[in-house]
Amino acid sequence: MEKLIITVAGDSRTSYPHNNFCPTQEDIPGVTQQYVDAVNAGAAIAHIHGRRTLEETFQADGKMVSKIHHADWKRLHESIMSKVDPIMQYGVASARIEEKIELMKLGPDMMAVAFNAHDEYFQPVPTLPPKRMMAIHPVEELIAYAKAAEEHKVKLECECFQTGAFWHLDFVRKAGYLKKQTYVTLFIGWPGGTWMPPTERALQFFVDNLPPDTIWNVSVMNPEKQWSILSLAVALGGHVRVGYEDNPYIRPGEFAKNNAVLVEKMVGIAQSLNREVATPDEARKILGLQRSQ
């Protein structure tokens, strides 16, 4: 079994705004340190979000997504890479395609793109106002993403919240893109209209229906079930994602003091299952990535 790639998504308060251990997106040194410590703890991929502004109402194009502040993404990218050398994966898959293509010019290794609709609703504490994201991603847009990624030498992270995303992936492949070493992340337990139940059976259903020639990763947004589902992913040969965006709890009700603690727990689970953890360079080979310049 190939070595385990651990992704850390460590700089978002959108899903858990009451987690005061998470630095604000404006605090670039603080966010940088979270990623530096997480990579040193065993993460190979840094799934960064950078500074963005979440729209609070539906816009004229029918979307409610994030506006990207490109200069601060560049600052965060350079700050992290000056200290450690992870695979740089740009998140915020819900942003508009024009802004995402502009981000590709900053030189990430990978970029998140949702292969089904965005319909996310975050309200972990009832006293806090909900945060929502809503956008449709038709196949025409996905093909445009795949074409742009090829032009900019960026590998897509195909985010799959439901198996309809696999149908979209097949459609894009028939158009001539994403045919080899396709990287998908399976999202389980994320609240909203594309929710998948946080159960081991849900993960098995996903895996049983994966398209061929895919490398799969799992993200679980559920403090009670995250670790058991990720353990199953490790045993099945998949890869895993942890961090403050997905689940900031080291155990139910207790925030992890930093993202490195969550990575360390994942490393321990992998070791208990006799699965070695990949370094960033080893992960690059598994994913077929050339080193960033």
Q: How confident is the model at residue 183 (pLDDT cuts 50, 70, 90)?
A: very high
Q: How confident is the model at residue 245 (pLDDT cuts 50, 70, 90)?
A: very high
In contact, 232 and 254? CB cutoff 8 Å: no
Residue 217: HSE in the Cβ half-sphere, 13 Å Cα cutoff: 27
The 10s digit of each residue's pLDDT in 129-152 is 999 999 999 999 999 999 999 999
For residue 222, give the H/E element and its range: none
Q: What distance in Å separates the CA atoms of residue 252 and residue 267, rounded to the nearest whole number? A: 19
Query: Tokens representing 268?
Result: 């321990």
- DSSP codes, 158-211: EEESSTHHHHHHHHHHHTT-S-SSEEEEEEES--BTT---SSHHHHHHHHHTPP
- DSSP codes, 89-114: EE--TTS-HHHHHHHHTT--SEEEEE
Mean of per-residue pLDDT scores for the chain:
96
In contact, 185 and 219? CB cutoff 8 Å: yes
What local confidence, expressed as pLDDT, does residue 291 receive?
67
Please provide residue 108's backbone torsions phi and psi, each rounded to the nearest 5 degrees.
-70, 155
135 C-beta neighbours (distance < 10 Å), count: 21
Give the residue-averaged pLDDT of 266-276: 98
The 10s digit of each residue's pLDDT in 42-76 is 999 999 999 999 999 999 999 999 999 999 999 99
What local confidence, expressed as pLDDT, does residue 12 receive?
87
Q: Each residue of 234-251: b (16+ CB within 10 Å) or e?
A: beeebbbbbbbbbbbbbe
Say yes or no to pLDDT of 250 above 70: yes
What local confidence, expressed as pLDDT, does residue 293 receive?
47
Q: What is the pTM of this model?
A: 0.97
What local confidence, expressed as pLDDT, does residue 252 receive?
84
For residue 77, give the H/E element and its range: helix 70-81
Give the residue-averaged pLDDT of 207-233: 97
Stronger pLDDT, 138 or 290, i.e. the higher one: 138
Angstrom CA distances, 210 to 122, 194, 243, 270, stand at 27, 17, 24, 23
